[in-house]
Amino acid sequence: MREKKSRKKTKRILTALIITGLLVSFISVGLYFLSSVPVAELMGDPETFDRGKLTADISRAVAERKDGFTVLYRDEEGLEEEFSELLGSLTKSRLEFSGIKRMSWKKVPFMGRALYDVRLEYGEADKADLGNALEYSEEAVLEQIFHMVLRRETKKELVFRNPGGTDEEEVISLVSSALKSRVEYRYLIAGCTHSCRVYDDYIVVVLDTEYYPDRADLEDIFEAKTQEEAYRYFLDRLETGLETVVVKAQAADIKKEDMNTVFVSAYYNDAEDIAVLINDINSKTYEDEQGNYIISYSLNIKDTETFLRLCGETREKLDGIILPDTGSRDLYARIFDYVTANCEYDYFLRDELLKEKFDSEEAMTSRGSYGALVKGKSICSGYAAAFKALCDRYGLPCMVITGKIEDTAHVWNAVLLDGIVSYVDCTFADTGDNPYQFYMMGNMTLRRAGYVPDKDQYIPEEFRKAGLSF
């Protein structure tokens, strides 16, 4: 009897322990949810699962940017599958939910009910208004990327209506091609990463773009159709010599090597702005598959402060040279007389250049119009630059010509008077016995004297129309 009573007592103790454990577990679960969910919601009447109502509840929570909400259902068979399927499909198919970075939920059975605690974590929304979005197409993608680059937007999300039948691989491929479609993008964009999300009714393209900080804006890139347009553009843009000059063209209109020739010719003929000749020109070319290219040019000026000072002194000198304006013919003669009377030939500089000492201080300061006009001492390039700078001041057609005479590099000028091209060589006029022998020379005289112009230099349109050719 005593043994039987002991077994009953042990059984009662074990039963009590099990019940106590269950109560503790139940209370723990209850306390957890009571700490985060209002009691009134727990004790309310459970709903029957309704897809439309749950969709509306989520939309309202997202619109109000709530962190989450709870909903109480009757715990019926298949509820968990329906609930999970709906929330998963909503985040994929509805634009207003695209701003949700993460959506999670917990289900707790509670006395024949199912309590769902839905948590919402937000990221940056794609866009709120699908009605204003373009329908996805190659043209739409090209247009949107163009405007993105135009505004130099670094982080951009493009939203398109999905016409159907589009997958992520296709979108990524099209965006990659679009970023290579214009030569301007290769010039402006240092790097771009992109991804996409394809939903049932819309497509989101996310771009993270880095731009070169020192590049011209898209709308500021000049497109030249002819060499003359490029030549005039270069002359206009070279104001201080410190500019980076950028031009776009099609190879079918202007070959790249011809564009380089045009720039060098403009550089030599901008005799007032570029009063000190620099031996080093930087250039970089960007191309696309359609034959378009962009070239940026700049002068590699080591001492910009000195360069600007010398060019400024040259302008001041030109401001102080006042010649009577008695017609083009007379002005050409007065400019010729002024240059030959106020400059002497620099034999030391000539010898330095023959030794290929192009970077010496003398070579850097005396080869251009500064040497001839301010220092009063230069070589042929300085004489020709001074003559050109004064002609420009008085609106007289003039160009600098590079070439050779008796196999020695030489520089002289061409002028245009009464529709006829003539040639002026202030250098030989100043160093020879008969100055006017080298003034207003014709083509036959030039050839007999052994002048041979370089082939790779640009002839301005007004001189070409007058019959000048090399």
Q: What's the token pair of residue 150?
A: 């135009």
Query: Which among 300, 328, 455, 468 has a CA at the least distance from the CA of 390?
Result: 328
Strands 408-417 and 398-405: antiparallel
CATH level 3 topology of 304-465: C8orf32 fold (3.10.620)
Tokens linked to 240: 């201080």
pLDDT tens across the length of the chain (470 residues): 555 455 555 566 656 555 655 554 455 445 444 445 555 555 678 888 888 888 888 888 877 888 888 888 888 888 888 888 888 777 665 555 656 777 888 888 877 888 888 888 876 544 445 667 889 999 999 999 999 999 999 999 898 989 988 899 999 999 999 999 999 999 999 999 999 888 878 888 999 999 999 898 888 899 999 999 999 999 999 999 999 999 999 999 999 999 999 999 999 999 999 999 987 899 999 999 899 999 999 999 989 999 999 999 999 999 999 999 889 999 999 999 999 999 999 998 888 887 776 666 777 788 999 999 999 999 999 999 999 999 999 999 999 999 999 889 999 999 999 999 999 999 999 998 899 999 999 999 999 999 999 999 999 999 999 999 98
Under 8 Å CB-to-CB from 293, ≥6 apart: which residues? 183, 248, 249, 250, 251, 256, 285, 286, 287
- What token pair was written down for 456? 């790779």
Task: Please give the DSSP secondary-structure letter assigned to residue 450.
Answer: T
Phi and psi dihedrals of 151, rounded to 5? -90, 0
Q: What is the Cα–Cα distance from 15 to 213, expressed in whole angstroms?
A: 77
* Domain 130-211, architecture per CATH: 2-Layer Sandwich (3.30)
pLDDT of residue 419: 95
Q: Which long-range contacts does 451-454 make (Cβ < 8 Å, 24+ apart)?
A: 451/403, 451/404, 451/405, 451/410, 451/412, 451/423, 452/403, 452/404, 452/405, 453/401, 453/402, 453/403, 454/401, 454/402, 454/403, 454/404
**Cβ–Cβ under 8 Å, residues 382 and 371:** yes
Q: What is the pLDDT of residue 25?
A: 47
Other CB atoms within a 10 A radius of the CB of residue 279 amount to 12
CA distances from 322 to 278, 316, 318, 438 (A): 28, 12, 8, 24
Distance CA 364, CA 367 (A): 7
Q: What is the pLDDT of residues 411-444, one digit of tens each?
A: 999 999 999 999 999 999 999 889 999 999 999 9
CA dihedral over 260, 263, 269, 272, signed as positive or negative: negative
- Evaluate if pTM is beyond 0.85: no
Burial grade of 425 (CB within 10 A; 0-12, 13-18, 19 or more)? buried
Give 294-343 as a DSSP string: EEEEEE--S-HHHHHHHHHHHHHHHHT-------HHHHHHHHHHHHHHH-
Would you kindly state where each structural domain of the chain is located, as residue ranges? 1-32, 37-122, 130-211, 221-299, 304-465
Phi, psi of 249, rounded to the nearest 5 degrees: -160, 170
Which amino acid is located at 316 in the chain? Answer: E
Tokens 């619109």: give the residue. 63
Q: Which of 302, 296, 295, 243 is nearest to 270 (CA)?
A: 243
**Which pLDDT score, from 0 to 100, does residue 457 have?**
96
Give the distance, in angstroms, between the CA of residue 200 and the centroid of all CA atoms in the same chain. 34
The pLDDT, as a whole number, for residue 127 is 41
Please give, one letter per residue, the 3-state secondary structure of 140-194. HHHHHHHHHHHCCCCEEEEEEECCCCCCHHHHHHHHHHHCCCCHHHHHHEEEEEE
CATH of domain 37-122: 3.30.1370
Retrieve residue 253's tokens: 């209109």
Handedness of CA 421, 424, 425, 431 (dihedral sign): positive
Domains 37-122 and 304-465 share a fold: no
The amino acid at residue 283 is S
CB 110 within 8 A of CB 143: no
The residues, any chain, with a CB within 8 Å of residue 228's CB and separated by 6 or more, are 460, 461
Position 164, amino acid: G
